[in-house]
Amino acid sequence: MWNSLGKLIKTNITLSEFALMTHPNAPDPDELWMNEALELAALGQGYVEPNPMVGCVLVRDGCMIGRGYHQIYGGAHAEVNALEDCSSSGEVPQGSTAYVTLEPCCHFGKTPPCADALIRARVARVVVAVTDPFPAVDGGGIKRLRESGIEVITGVGADKSERLLAPYLKRVRTGRPWVIAKWAMSMDGRIATSTGESQWITGNESRYEVHQLRGRVDAIAVGMGTVIADDPLLTARHGGPRTPIRIVFARHRVPDLKSQLVRTGSETPTWIVAGPAIADSDLALLADHDVETMRCDSENSVDMVDEVLQRLAREDNLSGRPISNLMIEGGGGLLGSFAAAHQIDEAHVYLGAKLIGGLKSLGPFGDPGFPRLADATRFEIQSVQTFGPDVRAIYRRIKD
């Protein structure tokens, strides 16, 4: 008992966690330590993309002796930071168990292989939540560890880790970024009145949360209808780890040169997804304001969505870095096209405490829609929160 209490003090775990660990029906210690690694991994959200969020803890004799997470794109990985944390506290990693939320890498990228770092540290055991599908790894890290005599356990905390890693996993597995659709609507499902008035359906607290989300995604997309109606700036005005790229889907016309997006093109990256009918001369005028162009082969809105997503996820896109998280802020036409392409992975739905009414008042999604319920994309709820008088529900797509 006293030995267990000593571990409690050393690892700074809570009394409730201590009770769980010492109860006869206590959860698997591997699960508990993997949860700790997952909490660390989440701290990298918005900072490490397009790399995955990864956490690592080192444990020996029931005590955590080191912890770390991938903190910034291009920086040291979680395993290396955990080993350095262990050394800085005077501990020795030899003989310990490493809990890692994603398979340790086995290739030279921006940093050396993490599998080799664990081998050199002479850890005895590595517990991995998810195998990395990235082609340069894809089981190679696990194989290298096992060939070095290290015991490797996989699948611990896999569901939670896959949920956290969903944007990275989708991009690697499908060649498309994770798409977050956001919209605000009234209690009766309207995003604007019959005269087109939409500002503001929700309150300041909700809008603050939207800006927080903007500050952690790679890019924000809107359609030309939104540009004309709202003249948005599409920046994260409350800060955040990222400055999102602003993307406008323009099938037939481009933003006015006096619009906020064009006038600030030299300050914030701004891209136009141009349909084949748009004149080169119009795009040249935008280029004079540092607005870049991604020309599409098809004019069909659903085909454009699929083509653009594939190009955004590549390293040779206009930014030179793969996009992992794309946020769609409307309007109804663009949201409808993404829905029809079955490319909405997550939805942030804000419900304002207002009733608008009117048969001609707009809903959040336009054409083409689904003629049969059986064809509609299905979602499951993740969380519900209130912000002042508003409600936000976050949904995730159910895997087919």
Residue numbers belonging to the annotated binding site: 77, 105, 114, 184, 198, 200, 214, 226, 230, 234, 237, 329, 331-337
Q: Please tell me whether residue 18 adopts helix, strand or coil conformation.
A: helix
Q: Which range, of 63-67, 83-87, 167-171, 372-376, averages the lowest pLDDT? A: 372-376
Nearest one of 323, 353, 131 to 246, comparing CA atoms: 323
**Alpha-carbon gap, residue 12 to 27, rounded angstroms:** 18
pTM for this prediction: 0.88
Digit-coded pLDDT (tens) for 194-224 = 888 888 899 999 999 999 999 999 999 999 9
Nearest one of 120, 6, 122 to 61, comparing CA atoms: 6
Two tokens at 22?
């010492």
Two tokens at 315?
């390293």
Digit-coded pLDDT (tens) for 133-184 = 999 999 999 999 999 999 999 999 999 999 999 999 999 999 999 999 999 9
Q: Are 106 and 144 in contact (CB under 8 A)?
A: yes
Two tokens at 30?
């591997």
| The pLDDT of residue 66 | 96
Give the confidence band of 58 by pLDDT, cuts at 50, 70, 90: very high
111: left (phi over 0), alpha (psi -120 to 50) or beta: beta
Residue numbers belonging to the annotated binding site for NADP(+): 184, 200, 226, 230, 331-337
What is the separation of C-alpha 95 from the centre of its chain, rounded to a whole number of angstroms?
Answer: 35
349 Cβ neighbours under 8 A, 6+ residues apart: 182, 183, 185, 392, 393, 394, 395
- Kindly state the DSSP code that residue 48 receives in the 8-state scheme: S
**Alpha-carbon gap, residue 88 to 86, rounded angstroms:** 6
**Residue 292 scores a pLDDT above 50:** yes
| The pLDDT of residue 362 | 86
Nearest one of 266, 258, 317, 259 to 287, comparing CA atoms: 266
| The pLDDT of residue 4 | 40
Q: What are phi and psi of 83, to 5 degrees?
A: -65, -40
| The pLDDT of residue 9 | 42
127, 133, 134, 136: CA torsion to nearest 10: 70
Give the confidence band of 3 by pLDDT, cuts at 50, 70, 90: very low
| The pLDDT of residue 26 | 65
**Residue 2 scores a pLDDT above 90:** no
Residues in the chain, overall count? 400
Q: What are phi and psi of 296, to 5 degrees?
A: -100, 150
Q: Are 101 and 126 in contact (CB under 8 A)?
A: no
Termini Cα distance of the chain: 49
CA distances from 399 to 170, 209, 342 (A): 11, 27, 11
Orientation of helix 114-121 relative to helix 78-88, angle to 10°: 30
Domains of the chain as residue ranges with CATH = 25-170 (3.40.140.10), 175-397 (3.40.430.10)
**Residue 245 scores a pLDDT above 90:** yes
Give the confidence band of 325 by pLDDT, cuts at 50, 70, 90: very high
Active site positions, annotated: 79
| The pLDDT of residue 6 | 40
Give percent of the chain with pLDDT exceeding 70: 94
195 Cβ neighbours under 8 A, 6+ residues apart: none
> Kindly report the CA angle at 34 between 30 and 37, in degrees rounded to 5?
150
Residue numbers belonging to the annotated binding site for substrate: 198, 214, 234, 237, 329
CA distances from 19 to 11, 34, 59, 156, 258 (A): 14, 18, 19, 21, 63
| The pLDDT of residue 107 | 78
Two tokens at 85?
């944390």
**Alpha-carbon gap, residue 180 to 347, rounded angstroms:** 6
What is the separation of C-alpha 357 from the centre of its chain, rounded to a whole number of angstroms?
Answer: 35
What is the separation of C-alpha 76 from the centre of its chain, rounded to a whole number of angstroms?
Answer: 20
> Kindly report the CA angle at 316 between 310 and 319, in degrees rounded to 5?
100
90 Cβ neighbours under 8 A, 6+ residues apart: none
Two tokens at 390?
């508003």
**Residue 244 scores a pLDDT above 70:** yes
Q: Are 51 and 73 in contact (CB under 8 A)?
A: yes
| The pLDDT of residue 255 | 95
